[in-house]
Structures are given as C-alpha cells and as structure tokens.
Structure 1
Amino acid sequence: MRVRACHSVNRLGILFPIWCVICVCVMTVSSAAQSVKNISGKITDSETGEPLPYVTVFVKVPGHSHKAASTDFSGIYHLAAPAAAGDSIFATYVGYKTTQKLLPKANPATVDFQLASDNKMLAQVNITPKSYVNPAWEIMANVVKHKAENDPDKLKSYQYESYSRLELSVTNISDKMKKRKLMRQILPLMDSLQKIAGEDGTPVLPVFMSETVSDYYHQTNPDQKAEVVKRTKMSGVGIEDETLISQIVGSSLQQYNFYRNYIRLANKDFMSPITDSWKMLYNYDLAERDVKIDGKDYYRLEFKPKRSHDLSFVGTMWISHDNYALYRMDVSVTPDANLDFLNKIRIQEQMTQPEGTSSWLPEKTRITVHVSNINPKWSGFLGKFYISNKNIVVNKIYPPEVFKEPLTMANDVTNKDESYWTTNRPEPLTDVDKKVYKMIDTVKNLPIVRTYADIAAMLINGYYRPGNSKFSFGPYLYTYSYNDVQGSVLRLGGISNRYFSENLILGGYVAYGFRDRKWNFNGSVDYIFSRKPWTEAGISFTRDLGQTGYQFENFSKSNNIFKASIRNGNLLRRGPFQQNELRAYVQTDVAPNLTAKLTTDRRTFDPLYNFDYISPIDGLHYRNYQVAEAITELQWQPGRRLLQSAQVNKRIALGGGTDNPVITIRYTHGFKGVTGGDFDYDKIAANITQKIHMGIFGKGEYSLTGGYIPSSLPSPMLENHRYNFNTMRFLEYVSDRYVALNYTQHMEGLITNSIPLLRSLNVRTVADLNVLDGSLSDANGGRPSNRRPTRNLEGTPYVELGYGLENIFKFLRVDFLHRVTHRDHVDEAGVPPSNFATRVTLQFRL
C-alpha cells in the first residue's frame, strides 16, 4: 500500500509542472483575447439606405495613431480594436460627414453607421503655387495612355452570368402625408421602417423588389449584344407582368463603361472621370499613393468637376499600380447638376481582371437613383440596383444564332423555386431584405393602395380601368375639346384590356359637337396572331373631322398631348373636311430590327371650305372625292429591343440607348374605280431619324424626309408642309417632290451653366433649323396662277431658324422661330406673312 501511495505521489509530482504550463498558456491566450475587441457592422447612406463600400472605420490608440478597417462592397466591416483603444469608433468617407459612436462594452460588438452627405466638398477651393505639379496628373495621364489595353470594349467578346436586384421605395414621408387615409393604413408598419433605416437613417416605404439571373453576351465586331433571362422573382405594387419588368431591369440595361469619354445615364451624356479631356474638365487629388487590397497596390484619387453644374461626377477611384487599370469607382452626380427630378444618382463599381486578358470587366455594380425634386411637399422615389457578375469568359467566338434575338427568356423564367435563389444568389438575403419582401406583400394588398396604383396607371397610359373591368375608358385627354367648326365636343371612348382577351382588342369612341350638332364615331378590331415575332392585324371605321394641314401621318412620332391639342382652336384655317374612313392593316416583324406593314384604306373627302379641282387627265370637276389605296411600309431600327409580354396587348420596344438611325420607306398606290376610288396614283416617301449624343455639346435630333408623287392629284392629296414649319401658314406651300430637314440641338447646360441667373433656374438652350426644298409639277399647278399666289417654292428653299429655352418650370419649352426666306409671300388677300412665331410645348426631360 505504501509503495502504491508513493508511486501516486511521484506521478502527481511529475504531472504538476505540465499542468502549470498548460494553465499559464491558457491564461495567456485568455488574456490576449481579452486585449482585443472585435467590432463589426454595416454602414449605409442615411438618406437612401444604400450600403457604402470603401468607408474607413477606425479607433484611436495611444501615440496619436489609430487602428482602421474598410467596408467591403456590401458596406460590411470587421475591426479588431486593441484594448488600449479609446472609447469611441469613427466612420469617415469622402462626401460624407465623419460620424462618431461610443464603443459597446460587449465583445464581440456590433456598431452600424448611417452617414449623412456633406455637399460642402464641391465648394472647397485649393490654392497652390504656380510651380506646383499635381502628382495625380501623371497617374491620370497613364490611365488614359493605357485605355486601349484595359478597356473591355477592346475585347473581341465577353460573356458572364449576371445577378441583378432592384428595390423601389417611397421617400419623403412627411408628417402631413402620414395623416392621409392611404398612410393611416400603413402607419403600423412605420416602426419596422425605422428599424430598417437605423437610428440615424430616414425611413422609406418599399413598394417593389425584384431579382433576376441572366446570361449576357457581347461581341464587338460587329457590335452585338444578347441577354438570356433565366429566372426572375419579384413582388410589387401594381405589377401585372413579372416577365415584362424583368426585361426592363435586366443587367444589359445597367452597363457602364467608364473608359468611354461619356457615360450614358438617364439618356444623357455625363463626362467620365477618365475621359480623354480629363485635365480640362476635372480637378484631381491623390488621396493615397499606396493602398493595398488583396495583395495588390493601388492609387486612390479623388476628383470633382471644374464646373459643378455640368453633367459630371464627383467621387473617388482606385487605379492599379502595375497597369493603371480602373479597379474601383465610386461616383455621384454633382448635387447641382442641370437635371430635373433626380436628387441623387450614384454608381459604385468594382472591376475584375479575367484570366487570359489585360482588360478589366465589372464584377459588382450598385446604382442608386433618388427622385424627389418634383415638389417639396410630395413624396419621392428611391431606386436601388445591385448587379453581380461571375463566370466571365472572354474572346470566345460565337455562332450567329447567339445574337439572333437581343433578348430571350427561359420557359421557366417565373418558376417559383426558392431553392434556385438560395443557390444562385451571390450573397444570401439579409434579415432586412426578407422584411422588405414581407412588407411589400402587405402593402400591395391594401385596397387603397390598389386604387392609387390604378390612378397612376391611368395617368401614364391615358386609360382608366375601374375595378376588374374588362374595358378601359379613355384616352382622357380627348374627353373635351373646342374648335371653331364643332364648338364644344364631348367624347367617350374605350378599349378592351387583357382581362377581356390576350389577343383580341376591341376599341372605339363616340363624340358630339354642340355647334355643328353632328355625331362622330369610331370602331376598331385588332388581333395579335403572334408575339414572337410580333404579328398583328386590324380593321377600323371612322367618321370624324380631318384637317388638310395634318391629313397624312407624319414620320415623326407625335404624342397624345399633340394629337389632342390639334383638335382644338381655329380649324377653318387648316382646311377641315368631313371624312369616312375604312382602314385595314397587317404588321409583322420580319427580323428583330425590321418591321413590315401593309395597309389598305378607303376614305372620302367632303371639304368644309371652298374647294374645286379639275383633273388635267379627264377634265372631270371635283368638289369632293374619295380614294382607295394600299400602303406598304418597311422600318429598320438597329439596336431596338422588343419586350415580350403575354399580358400587355401592345408591342413594346426599347431603343437600347443607341445612336443608330431609324429608316422608314413607304410606298402608296391609289386605285381608280376600285371601291369607288376617283384617282390612280403613286407616292414614294422615305425618312431617316436619328438622335446623336455629342457629350458636352448636348444632343442633336434630326429628321430627313424625301418624297416623290409622279401623279396628277388635287392639292389636299399632295404634300402640305405645315406639319414641321411653324412660321409657314397652313396650306401655304404644297409639293409633289421635296426634301425636308428638321434639326434640333439640345445644348443642355453648355451656355446656361455659365450664366448665374439661368444656372440657378436650371433652364437649357435649344437651337432649331428647318429647311424645305420642294417643287410642284405643271400637272399639279406648278405654274403661277392668275387667281391666287403660287403655292410652289419656285426653286428657293424655305428656311426657318429658331432658338429657345427648355426646362422652364421643368416642363415647358419655348422656341422663338424666324422665317428666313419667302418673307414676302402674300396670301390670297394680299397680306404678307408673319415672319416670326413662338412655339410653346410641354415636355418631360430629365
């Protein structure tokens, strides 16, 4: 027994030092752990709630130093703070006010920040000696020098899988608005909104959220793009067709290449911070020379425009040391840029360099758009886009079939499969994102919200659909009009919607004039045979007033406001006539960019003014007539994207933001003796229309039209030119062969941004040039008449010059137009023309 006891004691004596060592190590590790506090959190914009990447978070430590970390692209940071750190944590970033918060006692701790914007940065002026050489200039010169090797547009092709998410919210929820009936039903949600915004954030009410996964393809020679939408998921107020929305918010419409001199945003050209003319347009500051990110070194440059009112950016960019490539970009549109309605636009982008190339492509992009300047008392809207690209492949050769359709959708694009999203989201939904989805589902089912959505749809579409009705009433702009022929006119019309049929469309209207005491009416039937390719046909009958000055469809697209406005005013000077018209058509997309249309038309012409015509062919005398004709038309619009929808009964196309021209060719043949037609004739016409983006010089828009009528016809059937010439009198000039150019230059803020008063009003200058060169054959009365002044231009082109201001009160445009030629052309009464005209138009431009 003793021996065993002694043996046990000896074993304990041997193990005791080992236990002591272990205990010391554990205590040391524990002490070390207690000497570091782990802090994490998320940093967002206090106004928009957008995550803020690249923000510096730090704590102060003894020795006038600090321990810092940066947020990632999702605004998340992790900081290990030493035990000797102060009791506060700070967040700082260019363009925002530095924010300070107390450190919690817990370890680990969570500290979220909501940073407020600081617009004073643009007002700062740096005074430097003449001998000073900005170190940022050498870096910028090298960035421009290496554009060719870093620009993704220099690749033969590239493709990637893209995930995009869009969230729309209502902002500026004032106390007065909260008292309204609509908001009283939503008030129970306000506590949740405040928790989502954070203690320093501004609550917003989410009304729409979507997620989309697409495969995107881009080939540079020839320039072609294609997107395949593989899956989409969304929830929102007033959304009837998920597939349509997914095509509008897809990744291909959110592509920004800062290597280009100008960035197309909201259909305007913003000067890129790395434009070839960088030194003339921007000021730069080298904020940090050596920034190490994932083992690579970068320069960090801050920049701002030399004229803050121009369409430009302010922000920060990171440039790689080795090849001067753009790695990160964080830009905002300058707060006082000459824009309407948009309070804020911000783009944050992080690039990646795929294997096998020197070019860099976007890996992650975040776009924030805040609309809040319509009226200070009204609510605004906030849009937040997030795009993440992966599986990037470059310089692959594709078969032509890949780009046959610019946009296609998978058959199961709207399949409700949550496991798909769990697998394909680049990052899992946060608790906040899940709350947003749930909140939207709650809001959209409120009856009063659905009512407001119906009213908004009426304002946009022009038709109102009460409840679940299968018919929509409108367009409401035509409900009342007044003119000198009919007096007051009341009109009631409507059209069937998709709840009636997804293919058959019925429409019509009845109208009554209280002066002439006549009823007018219309009835139409249209049928959609195919949506891909789009093929439709229809037939209609109309009894109504026509106007010789606006008789034929012009190539320029006119909006409903214009069409409604010309039904008012002095119709007698425009050559009014009563007509019965039976029209039938068939239209199809021959190719994605090519549309063909065939129309047959039979109409009467019963003038309400003095008219007589003696045919030089058969000597017959006409005081009225009727025509029967067939019209064939081809339209080529390269870069157009046709949107696919099974629930919208009309063809929807997007221009794609390109500067490509739209070319239309039209041939008309009239048949004599067929269904009562009085004349046999031919007409040939063509038009080319284009919008040209010119960067700092604004945007030009032109329409070039040419026509030839080799037949003898009464003047109302020839080309009456008043449509696009405001200083020309109605029925003043007519041609049977002509070329017309209508050009407008929108100069944005090129001139007005340099004039203090005009700059503060945000108005913009425009210039107009309208030129017509035409002639009239002898068979159509080309020789001067002894009974009235000639209606022939007689070899001298008609020229009209104009200038004006747009964006007056954000909606008005005023043009002052001068008649340069034919200034002494008197009318039948011997009265010379007014050589000056003022044109006031309503328009919506950002």
Structure 2
Amino acid sequence: MQAKAKGFLFILGKLFPLLCFVLTFCPCARAQSVKTYTGKITDAETGEPLPYVTIYVKLPNNTTKGTTTDFSGVYRLVTPLATGDSIYATYVGYILTKKPLPAGRTGTVDFQMKTNTELLKTVTITPKKYINPAWAILDGVVQHKDENNLDKLKSYEYQSYNRLGLSLTNISDKMKQRKVMKQILPLMDSLQKIAGDDGTPNLPVFVSETVTDFYHQHNPDLKTEKIQRTRTSGIGIEDETLVSQIVGSAFQQYNFYKNYVRLAGKDFISPITDSWKMFYNYELVDSQDKIHGVELYRIEFKPKRSHDLAFVGTMWITQDTYALYRLDVSVTPDANLDFLDKIKIQQEMVQPAGSTAWLPEKTRIIVNISNIAKSWSGFIGNFYVANKNFKINQTYPRELFKEPMTMNDSISVKNEDYWVQNRPEPLTATDKRVYQIIDTVKSLPIVKSYTDILGMLINGYYRVGKFGFGPYLYTFSYNDVQGPVLRAGGQTNKYFSDRWILGGYVSYGFTDQRWNYNGSVEYITSRKPWSQVGVSYTHDLNQTGYQFENFNNVNNVFRASARNGRVMRRGPFIQSDLKFYGQTDIWPNWRLRLTGDHRTFEPLYPFNYHSPINGKEYTTYQVAELQTELQWTPGKRVLQSAKINKRIALGNGEDNPVVTFRYTRGFKIFDGDFEYHRFAANIRQKVHMGIWGKGEYMFTGVYLPSILPNPLLENHRFNFNTMRFLEYSSDRYLAFNYQQHMEGLLTNSIPLLKTLNLRTVADLNVLWGSLREENNAGFRGASSGFPNRPSRSLNGIPYVELGYGLENIFKFFRVDLLYRVTHRNHPDEFGDQPRSMAVRFGVQFRL
C-alpha cells in the first residue's frame, strides 16, 4: 500500500507541470475563474461601427481591465470573476457610456454611443514655456513624408472591395404622417432592433457591393480601374453598373500625407500638413500604445479655429518610422459646410513587403446629411473599402491605362458564392435584413410613384410609361414680347428604346398670339466609344444678346429664366432653325462634334443692314453654316450605361482644364446670305487653393475675319453684368473671367458672419476686343429707328469689371456687387450713361 502511494506521488510529481500549464492556458480550464463579454459598438445616430473604442470594467483594486474594438466595432473582453457591476465604453468625440454587466459568466453587451458636441468648446491653457511632446512627433512625421507617402512609389495596385449604404434618418413626424411613410412604418420595429436600444432607427434605401482591381502609376500619372463584379439593391436605381462606376475605389481614396484632403469638392487641412502648427492643437495621450506588435504614439488633435475646413480626431504614428498607422477623424461640427451634419473617416494602413510606403488597407467614410427642410428626412451614407493583394513598383504597358475604367463582361452576374469568397467579412444578420427591407420598400406602388416624382425634380421630366413630360421649368414663362407663354413637351426614354430618342414641344404666346414648336430625333450609334447623331427643327423666339453662349455651361434654370422679363432690350427675333449633328469620343478625353445649321433671322426690333460687300439691304437674312468642335477633357471619365440614353461624364481629374476649339464656316448655299469664317477657342478650369479657397477661370478667344451684320458678331453679355445688352460687339476679342471662392477664409474670423456661415467671393472680368470699321459702320446704319446710336467698338480700351459678394445666404442664395471700372462714359442712343454698379442675384447649391 505504501509502495502504491509512493508510485502515485511520483507520477503526480511528473505530471504537475503539465497540469499547471493546462490550468493556466487552457480556456476550458479557466472558464470557472473568468468572465467573457463580447459585443459591437456603433454610433447611436448613424449606426456605423466604431473602431478603436476602449471597453473596460473596474476591478476591486482600483484598476481596470479593458480592450479595444476592431475596425468593425467588435470587441471581446475577458475579465476576472471579481469585477464591478458595469461595463464602460469611452472614445474621444463621444460621451462615456456604461451598461450593466450580464449576470452570467458570458454575455453580449452592445453599445450605441452618442457624439459629444461639447468637445470643441473646451479651452486648454498652457504655460508659455511649455513644450508639447506631440510637436517632436509631428516634426518627425513631416520629415519622413517622402518615404512613407504612397505617391512616392513608382506604381501600385490592389484589389478593392467597396460597400456603400444609404439610409433615411431623422424622419420627421410630419413625414411619418404621409401616405407613403404609413406603409413603411411597420418596418420600423425591425429597424429599431438594427439600431439598438439607444440608437436611432434609420430606413435603408440603397446598398451596393463592388469588387475592382485598381492600378496607379506615377511619372506619368496614370490610373485605371477594372470593375470585376457589382451587386446593387436600391429604390429608383436604373442602372446598377452605373453606380459601381461612380463609387469605385478611386472615389474613396484619401491621402492624408498631402497638405490638403479633397472631400465634398472642398480642401480640408490634413492633420499632418507641413504647416501643422498653424492650424491644429495636439495632445500626446499615449506614448507606448501597441497594436499588432507595432509600437505607436497615439495623438489627439483639433483645429485652432473650429470653423476652418479641418478635422478633429485621433491618429496613431509608428515610433520607428513616423508613419501614419491609424486614423479616426471627423469634420468639426462648426465647419463652414451646408447640410452636412457629420463627415467621418476611419483608416488603417498597411506596409506592403519591400516598401517603406504605407497604403490604405481599410477605410470607412460616413456622411450625414441633415434635414434640408423640417418636414423632410436626413440622409446617411456609409462607405466601406477593404484592399488586399498589394503589389508595388511594377512596370505596366501603356495600353493598360488606355481607358480610366473598364467593366468585366460578368459584372452583373448573380452568384452568391462569389461574394462569400470576396467579401473581407461575411454579412451579418443585420446586413441581410437591410437587403430584405430595401426589396420590400421598393416594391410598394406608392414608393414607385414618389420615385418618379423625385426623378422629375432631378431630371426635369416626369415619366409616364415610355415618355417623359418636360422640362417642367419651361411650362410657363412671361416676357414683354410674347406675354404669358404656356409650353408642353417631352421626350422618349429607355422604355421606348435604348437607341432612339424622340422629343419636341409646342408653346403659345397669348400676347403675340404666335405658336412655337420643336421636334427632334436622336440616335445612339455606339456607347463605347459614345457616338450619337441627331436632327431637329425649331421655330421659336430667340434673343441677339443671348444668341451665342460663349462656351458657358448654361443650365436649364438659366435658360428658363432668360425667356422671362424684358426681352425687347435683348434684340428679339423669330428664328426657324434646322440643325443636324454628329459627335463621338475619338480618343479617351477627346470629343469631336460636327454640326450643320440652317436658320433664319426675322427681327422684332428695327433692323436694316447695308452690306458693304454686295450693296444689298437686309431687313431679314438666312445663314447656312457648318461647325466643327474638338474638346479635350483630361481626367474626365465617361460612364458606361446600357439603360440611360445620355452621355454621362464624371469629374475632371485633379484640377484639370477643359479645352475647346471651334471652327465655323458660313456658306452661300441653301439660301445662305453670307459667307464667313469664325475661329474660337476656350479654356476653363477650377483650381483648388487650400485655405485660400477655390478659383474658377475662363479664357475665351474669337476671331472673325469676315464682314457681317451685327447679330452674327460677338455681342458680349454673358459674363459682363454691368454691360448693357447689345452695348458692345467685337469681331475679334480675348475675354478673361475669374471668380475666387474664399470659403470661410475671411468670414470665419468675424463672429456674426461666422455664425451665419457666409462666404466671400471676388470677381474679375476683363474684355479686350476690337471691331472693324466696316462692321461698326454697318451697325451704325443698321437701324433707321436710332440714327444716333453710339459706336459698339471698344476702341482698344479693355472693358474691366470688378466685384465681390457673399454666398451661402440662407444656404442657397448669392449676391454680388459688380463695378464697371472702364468705359464709364458711353451714352446710349437716348444719351443715358451706363450704370457704374450692378447687383447680381443667384441661386446655387454648394456644400
């Protein structure tokens, strides 16, 4: 018996270290001595996952046990048995949140955290001699930018998974009473479950997933994107492949190593800009943070001026190379932006093998659009990007970048296995529920009706079957020639044909008692490259002062407003116009357009032209001309759609110009009365200038070596607001038009203007022009009704107009005061001097 006891003790002694190991490291062995909690942390308002949130419990010895959430907002916390009765969630920019712990030793605790709006109102006072420890780290970041910045690579490529979700939020009580919403409200119970106990239920209306291959080469700078597969579900979506092109990976690239980050068309100051000390305050909150074995500095920052276009948030900097490792930033709540309650960017970087540069591995962008009207709802956009399979410094054939975007033939093939394999993480039960809710909502008949109405507001046409009535802006107008004018018209849509487009209108003026009308036929010969031909005939009122558009991007709002008011002073005439055209994209970013035109001129004001060439007198005339136009738009992407019958272009690269050349030849054939040449060129560009705002300039040059009646010359009015209609004309000229949008550069320092979010604008318009004596003399004798009409020539003196203004008045309105600097002494035929100042009112939508 004693021997057996000794044997048992011997075996126990040999096994004791193994038992200790099992008891220490085996989860099942420890299960009785610890508690395990899991959960997901989301924003209470937007529902987006919150990464990097600290989750902790309090221990009896006045210490804490904690962990942090991953990029998807998920955490797992293992604690001793002896803990407090609450679990806490804390993160910069959010209110500290606590919840009771579950009774068992395991449990799930989800948090919905609310934004801390008081964050930026705190003031920190430090001694003058204080040296901020974060400053040395920021100096290191700037010094190492070149080696850490992905733009310094020869090239890079990766595969990208993109997910976009759009939801209605803050649905007003008034909106809930509408018939359409009453049919949707039963879904709100499940939406509340998605949002969580403390969250705000949001109604999903669109979701998409896209997989693309992205390539970027420097020197020369070339990009291309190959869309492999897309999946879309949304309300009112006509073409899911079109959505995939708009929200590709290139759309969501943000490089914080640049001094400014382009967001919503504006330049935001990067927290690691070269001039960081001028714009931001920093606090080093952890000098020994460690993530995935990487030693990091954790720094919180906020802008010195809350109204600046800047960020507030947290960044993690590697200790060895001063590289940006993680970033969690939000646009400040007081930033000078309209309608955007929140913009948030979260990013995790990765360093590919063989490279010193860091590339974005995961990015999440949240955009919260506020209720534009009290009775409406807001919008939330949630973008998620995950990149993998990085390759750097490869050499690519030039043909790879021939087109900025291509689509795989199987882009729309429905195959759930493909998505299971290519998603970075599987869909949650909530994600699947979102798809179900969207499918349910978009199938409701009343929702389809509201979608049609919304489409009318955006496109200008109200669709009824295969035909769209509109544009609605032209339905009624009033002017001093025609009086009240009613107009009805429209055009066919994709349901009629994906190639043929038929359109037209008819209108009636109740004062002049004239019928006017138009008919057109267009045919899309090819969608890649986009090619189109068409023919139209119009009989309607036109205006000499607005006859030539001088390369302006004139929208329907302006065109409709130009048909109202005092058109008699603009040189009105009745015109019958037969036109045919053909256009095609001859190369990427190059478009060629040929237009043949035969039109009449029947003036409604006193007109008589004595031609010095043939001695004939003209009270009316006809022209027959052929125009060739070549336009270069570097960086612009022409989107491909098999379901939308118009050429859709997106963006214009990084501040690239648009260059247009035109040559017009007039012929004495088909009853044309004049033979002439017209050469014209235009360049326009928007230039982003960081804190200085955005500049918009346009150069236009025209040369007419021919002798013509005044309505066929250049009658300047489009961009010179202090100039009277038909005051000056040119047969050769150079015009420069410039606007400087200064955003909040000046107004953010003035308390009242800062509160109103007003922004300043500066204008400069200069015209150098001349008019041959033959053309000027022909004008002088053109009207027997005004024999003392003054010269229309600028006589070698530039016309200069200066202005300044305020925009963003009540978010939509803009007012400019423009001053006539030169040609202030130029009386009209009645002897009246021109006004030295003009006030220009405008309606615009700018974030």
* TM-score after normalising by structure 1: 0.97
Q: How many residues end up aligned between the 2 structures?
A: 836
Residues 684-703 of structure 1: matches in 2 within 5 Å?
684-703=679-698
Decide which of 475, 481, 486 is 2:477's aligned counterpart.
Answer: 481
| CA distances 1:11-36 after superposition (whole Å, capped 9, x unpaired) | 89977997998999799977742111
Residues 1:798 and 1:27: Cα distance change in structure 2 (over 3 Å): closer
The 1-side partners of 2:711 and 2:641 are apart by 41
Alignment equivalent of 1:616, drawn from 612, 617, 631: 612
Q: 1:638 is aligned with what amino acid?
A: P
Matched, 1:552 2:553: no
Q: Does the C-alpha gap of structure 1 residues 31 and 541 become closer, same or farther in structure 2, counting only changes over 3 Å?
A: closer
* Residue range with higher mean Cα deviation, 456-465 or 655-664: 655-664
User: Partners of 1:27 and 1:747 in 2: how far apart?
Assistant: 67
Deviation at 1:107, TM superposition (A): 2.6
Match of 1:787 in 2: 788
**Larger displacement relative to structure 2 (120-129 or 170-179):** 170-179
Distance 1:153 1:12 in 2: 74
Amino acid paired to 1:707:
V
CA displacement at 1:119 relative to structure 2: 1.9
199, 202, 205: which is aligned to 2:200?
Answer: 202
Partner of 1:730: 725
Deviation string 1:306-357 (CA, Å, 9 cap, x unpaired) is 1110111000000000110000110000001110111100000000000111
Supply the AA of the counterpart residue of 1:732: E
Shift of residue 175, structure 1, vs aligned partner: 3.5
Give me the CA root mean square deviation: 1.8
Match for residue 566 of structure 1 among 552, 558, 562: 562
Q: Secondary structure at the match of 1:781?
A: helix
Aligned counterpart, 1:678: 673
> Match for 1:214 among 208, 212, 228?
212
Letter in 2 for 1:435: R
- In structure 1, what is the Cα distance between the partners aligned to 2:638 and 2:80? 59
SS at match of 2:137: helix
Kindly indicate whether residue 538 of structure 2 is the aligned counterpart of residue 537 of structure 1. Answer: no
Structure 1 residues 493-512: aligned runs within 5 Å: 493-512=489-508
Counterpart code for 2:705: P
Compare 748-757 and 104-113 and name the one that shifted more. Answer: 104-113
8 Å CA contact 2:634, 2:653 repeated in 1: no
Residue of structure 2 in register with 1:303 after alignment? 301
Q: Distance in 1 between matches of 2:769 and 2:198?
A: 67
Residue pair 1:283, 1:304 contacting (<8 A) in 2 also: yes
Per-residue displacement from partner, 1:177-218 (whole Å, max 9, x unpaired)?
323211211122111001000111110000111000000011
Q: Given residue 746 of structure 2, which amino acid in structure 1 is its aligned partner?
A: I
The SS at the match of 1:94 is: coil
Partner of 1:90: 88
1:10 Cα offset (Å):
9.9
Within the candidate set 630, 633, 636, 1:634 is matched to 630
Change (3 A) 1:31 1:650: closer
Match of 1:740 in 2: 735
- 1:119 — aligned with what? 117
Residue 710 (structure 1) aligns with: 705
Cα deviation, residue 433, structure 1: 0.4
Instruction: Return the offset for 1:259.
Output: 0.4
The question of 1:518 aligning with 2:519 is answered no
Q: Deviations over 1:22-59 (max 9, x none)?
A: 99979997774211111111100000001001111111
**Native 8 Å contact 2:167 2:206 kept in 1:** yes
The residue that corresponds to 1:658 in the other structure is 654
What amino acid maps onto 1:459 in structure 2?
L
For 2:593, the equivalent position in structure 1 comes to: 597
Superposed CA offset, 1:660-692 (max 9, x none) = 1100000000001x1000000000000000000
- Matches of 2:630 and 2:577 in 1, distance apart? 23
Please say if residues 633 and 652 of structure 2, whose CA atoms lie closer than 8 Å, have aligned partners that are also in contact: no
3-state SS, counterpart of residue 70 of structure 2: coil
Of 210-219 and 649-658, more deviation after overlay is shown by 649-658
**Alpha-carbon displacement from aligned partner over 1:69-116 (angstroms, at most 9, x marks no partner):** 011100011111111221211110000011111111223211111110
Q: What is the CA deviation profile of residues 424-457 of structure 1, one whole-angstrom value per residue up to 9, with x for unaligned ones?
A: 0010001110111111111110111111111111
Q: How far, CA to CA, are the matches of 2:777 and 2:124 in structure 1?
A: 70
1:749-828 to structure 2, matched below 5 A, reads 749-781=744-776, 787-828=788-829
Whether the 8 Å CA contact 2:297–2:318 is kept in 1: the answer is yes
Q: CA deviation at 1:250?
A: 1.0
Alpha-carbon contact 1:582-1:603 (below 8 Å) kept = yes
Q: CA deviation at 1:722?
A: 1.0
After TM superposition, give the deviation of residue 63 of structure 1 in Å: 2.3
Contact 1:232 1:246 in 2 (8 A): yes
Distance 1:163 1:761 in 2: 40
Letter in 1 for 2:83: A
**Shift in Å at residue 501 of structure 1?**
0.3
1:656 shift after superposition: 4.2
In structure 2, C-alpha distance between the alignment counterparts of 1:378 and 1:581, rounded to whole Å: 44
Secondary structure, aligned partner of 1:432: helix
Q: Residue 676 of structure 1 aligns to a residue in which SS?
A: coil
Per the normalisation by structure 2, the TM-score is: 0.97
8 Å contact from structure 1 (residues 746, 766) kept in 2: yes
Amino acid at match of 1:225: K
How far residue 781 of structure 1 moved from its aligned partner, in angstroms, is 1.7
AA matched with 2:494: R
Distance 1:631 1:572 in 2: 29
**Which 10-residue stretch deviates more, 14-23 or 195-204?**
14-23
* One of 49, 52, 65 as aligned partner of 2:50: 52
Amino acid at match of 1:499: Y
Distance 2:160 2:767 in 1: 49
What CA distance in whole angstroms lies between the structure 2 residues aligned with 1:493 and 1:355? 62
**Which range moved further: 655-664 or 583-592?**
655-664
- Residues 641-667 of structure 1 show CA distances to partners (whole Å, capped at 9, x for unaligned) of 110000000000012452011000000
Aligned twin of 2:133: 135
8 Å contact from structure 1 (residues 259, 272) kept in 2: yes
Deviation string for 1:557-577 (max 9, x for gaps)?
011100000000001000000
CA deviation vs aligned residue, 1:491-534 (integer Å, no higher than 9, x gap) = 00100000000000000000000001010000000000000000
Contact 2:827–2:834 (CA under 8 A) maintained in structure 1:
yes
Matched, 1:317 2:295: no
Q: Tell me which of 149, 161, 164 is aligned to 1:163.
A: 161
Aligned to 2:188: 190
**CA–CA separation in structure 2 for the residues paired with 1:541 and 1:176:** 47
Q: Map 1:265-284 to 2 at 5 A.
A: 265-284=263-282
Match of 1:397 in 2: 395
Matched, 1:584 2:585: no
1: CA distance between counterparts of 2:428 and 2:486? 55
2:783: which partner in 1? Answer: none
For 1:759 and 1:24, locate their aligned partners in 2 and report how far apart those are by CA, in whole Å. Answer: 69
1:3 corresponding residue in structure 2: none
Post-superposition CA distance 1:734-793 (Å, at most 9, x none): 000000011110000011111111111111110100000100012212699583211100
Q: Give % identity.
A: 65
Alignment partner of 2:642: what SS?
coil
CA 782–333 in structure 1, closer or farther in 2 if over 3 Å, else same: farther
Confirm or deny: 8 A CA contact 2:709 2:778 kept in the other structure: no
Give the SS at the match of 1:34.
Answer: coil
| CA–CA separation in structure 2 for the residues paired with 1:484 and 1:179 | 44
Q: Structure 2 matches for 1:459-470, cutoff 5 A? A: 459-466=457-464, 469-470=465-466
Q: Which amino acid aligns with 1:100?
A: K
- Which structure 2 residues correspond to residues 57-76 of structure 1 after superposition, within 5 A? 57-76=55-74
Instruction: Tell me which amino acid in the other structure corresponds to 2:41.
Output: I
Is 1:490 aligned to residue 486 of structure 2? yes
